[in-house]
Amino acid sequence: MADVEPAVPRAVGLVRDFVNTYEPQVDAESVGDPAVLGRWLVERGLAAPGTALHAADVVRAHVVREGLRSVLLDHAGHEPDPAALAALNATLAASPVTLAFAPGGHRIVALDGDGLAPALAGLLDAVREAAEDQTWGRLKVCARDTCRWAFYDASRNQARRWCSMAGCGNTVKMRRAYAARTGRGRPDATDGSVA
């Protein structure tokens, strides 16, 4: 039986989809140039049509994405990558934002309205929204080291470990069972097991 994805709140879905623009397991990059990144951001309301992006913006977007992936690794109970977190924080520090109030609420907006800045502010606002509605901690990455696909953990006890039980979860469990049955030692380190 295939895994069924529950309804995912808008804010965490946006961050999840951004993190998943790169799939580590197959080294697939889906926002590798300014035009493609721009289209992705426009389609999700993070950038205005016609926003001019450059190669440096793509690099910054990738730094933010991988920093967020490291945060989600922490949500999943694993050690985050300190270098990725430092790079994320440095990139965000260079993109000043503010809290703006309007009728009906508030949101994070960029102080600079050009290039990638509004999109980064939109992603930060999604993190703010998810934190406020208490769904932020449910956004995780797969425990399988070779995967690291972001997913929303809708389980009651928030203990989901894999992006898909039918895929990564099954693979990990089969490796563990084989190792136990044959006495060939611990499964390899790419299975997401805790030592």
Q: Model confidence over 38-75: pLDDT tens digits? A: 999 999 999 999 999 999 999 999 999 999 999 999 99
Angstrom distance (rounded) from CA 64 to CA 72: 12
Residue-level pLDDT at 3: 52
pLDDT tier at 169 (50, 70, 90 boundaries)? low
86 pLDDT more than 90: yes
Indicate the average pLDDT of the chain: 87
Rg (CA), the chain: 18
Higher pLDDT, 162 or 57: 57
Residue that the structure tokens 């951004």 belong to: 18
Other Cβ atoms closer than 10 A to 24: 15
Are residues 160 and 153 in contact, defined by beta-carbon separation less than 8 angstroms?
A: yes
Tens digits of residue pLDDT in 4-14:
566 899 999 99
The partner residues of 28 in beta bridges, in order of sequence, read 23
Tell me the average pLDDT across 84-102: 96
Mean pLDDT of 95-116: 93
Write down the pLDDT at residue 193.
Answer: 43
- Burial of 195 (C-beta count, 10 Å sphere; 0-12/13-18/19+): exposed
Band of pLDDT at residue 1, cut at 50, 70 and 90: very low
Contacts of 75 (CB under 8 A, 6+ apart): 136, 137, 138, 139, 140, 141
Residue range 158-169: mean pLDDT, rounded? 68
